[in-house]
Amino acid sequence: MNNLYRQRITLALDYIEQHLDKTLPLDHVAQQSFFSPFHFHRIFRGVMNETLNNYIARRRVERAANLLVVKPNLSITDIALDCGFSSSANFAKAFKKHFGFSASNIRQPVEGQSGTLGAIVKKYGKSFNPTTMYPQHFGSTKEMERLALLVELTDNPLINLCTLASVGGYQPEAIFATWEQLIAWGEQQGITLAKQQRLALCFDNPAVTPIDKCRYQAALVVSENQSVDAPFIANSLPAGTYARLYIKGSLEQVEDAQKRLFSDWLPNSEFEPDNLPMIEHYLNDVRIDGFLEMNIMLKVKRMTN
C-alpha cells in the first residue's frame, strides 16, 4: 500500500478520535486526510477494511465501555452524551447491539453471565465478557494500597518521537514486523540499538476492541531536528505529569497490571487521563528474554470536579 495513503488515513483517525462526542460529517473527516470527499469513503474502507460509519459507531461504543470502568462515578447518561449519542435510549440500543450486554452489565459484571450475540462476535469474531474489563482478582483494600505505592508520578519534558503504525493492530506478528521496520530506520539514522528508547502508543483496549482493529504505534525517541518521512510520522509526547507503573512478567501479568492502573488506581487517585493513549516504555526485547519488562505510562491531570 502507498505509504502516503496510510499516513493520511492516520490523520483522519486522529481527527475522529478527538471529535467522537460531536457530529462527524464525511466531508469534515475527508478534509483531514486531504482526499476528495467523493472518494474518501472507498479509500477509507480499502485501508481500514471497515466503512467509515461502522468505524465511528464502533469507536463510540468502545470508548463508552472503557469510561464505564475508568469513571465509575460518571452516570451512564453522561457517558452516552460524551461519546456522541443523542440520548441514553439510543446509546443503550447501540451498546447492547454491539456487545450483547447492557452498560449496567459492564458496571456490575457477574462471572459466567451470558449476553445476547452482539456485533462484536457476529461481525468481528471476538468473544466478549464484561469480567475481562477488570483485573483477574477484584482488588482488596490492601492490594489497592500496594498498587498506589508502586505507581510513580513524574513530571516529564516534551519528548520527540518517530512513530510507525501497526497494520495488524495488536497481533504479535504485526507488532514485531512494525518494530523491525522502525528499528532498522533508527539504525539508518545513526541511532544504535543500545541507544534506542522504544515506546508504544496503545490506543485501544483489547478487552473491547478486536485485536486486529486495535491501534498501535511503535515509537523511537528522536532529536528535535530529526527528519521523518512516510510511512513514518513525526509525533511527540507533551510535557506534563505521567503516572508510571513498572512491571516485569508475562503478557497476562502486564495486561492485568494495565487493567489495575485504570480500574483500581485511577478511581482512587486525584487524577484522570489527560487525552493521550496508554504508553508502554519497553526495557527489554521479549523475543530474546521470553518475558516483558516495561514501564506502563499514562499522562494524567488533576481532577477539577
pLDDT in tens, 20-63: 999 999 999 999 998 998 889 899 999 899 999 999 999 999 99
pLDDT in tens, 63-100: 999 999 988 889 999 999 999 999 999 999 999 999 99
* pLDDT of the residue at 138: 47
* Location of each CATH 1.10.10.60 domain in the chain: 3-133
Element (H, E) at 12: helix 3-18
CATH hierarchy code of domain 3-133: 1.10.10.60
Q: Which amino acid is at 304?
A: T
The radius of gyration computed from the CA coordinates of the chain, to the nearest angstrom, equals 19
Residue 188 has pLDDT above 50, yes or no: yes
Q: What is the pTM of this model?
A: 0.86
DSSP state of 204: S
pLDDT greater at residue 198 or residue 144 = 198
Q: Distance between CA 65 and CA 277 in Å, rounded?
A: 16
pLDDT band at 143 (very low <50, low <70, confident <90, very high): low
Q: Distance between CA 220 and CA 210 in Å, rounded?
A: 26
Buried/exposed code over 91-127 (b: 16+ C-beta within 10 A; e: otherwise): bbebbbebbbbebebbeebeeeeeeeebbbbeebebe
* Location of each CATH 3.20.80.10 domain in the chain: 153-302
| Cell numbers that stand for 223 in this block | 532529536
Q: Taking the C-alpha atoms of 39, 55, 296 and 293 in order, what is their torsion angle to the nearest 10 degrees?
A: -80
Contact 159, 236 (CB under 8 A): yes
153-302: CATH, from 3.30.750.24, 1.10.1040.10, 2.60.120.620, 3.20.80.10: 3.20.80.10
| Cell numbers that stand for 280 in this block | 508502554
Q: What is the mean pLDDT of residues 97-113?
A: 90
Contact 172, 213 (CB under 8 A): no
pLDDT band at 197 (very low <50, low <70, confident <90, very high): very high
Q: Counting Cβ atoms within 10 Å, is residue 188 exposed (0-12), middle (13-18) or buried (19+)?
A: exposed
Return the closest-CA partner of residue 66 out of 12, 17, 115.
17
Q: Which amino acid is at 293?
A: E
* pLDDT of the residue at 267: 81
| Cell numbers that stand for 177 in this block | 514486523
Residue 1 has pLDDT above 60, yes or no: no
Q: What is the mean pLDDT of residues 113-141?
A: 82
Q: Counting Cβ atoms within 10 Å, is residue 72 exposed (0-12), middle (13-18) or buried (19+)?
A: exposed
In terms of average pLDDT, the best of 90-94, 109-113, 252-256 is: 90-94
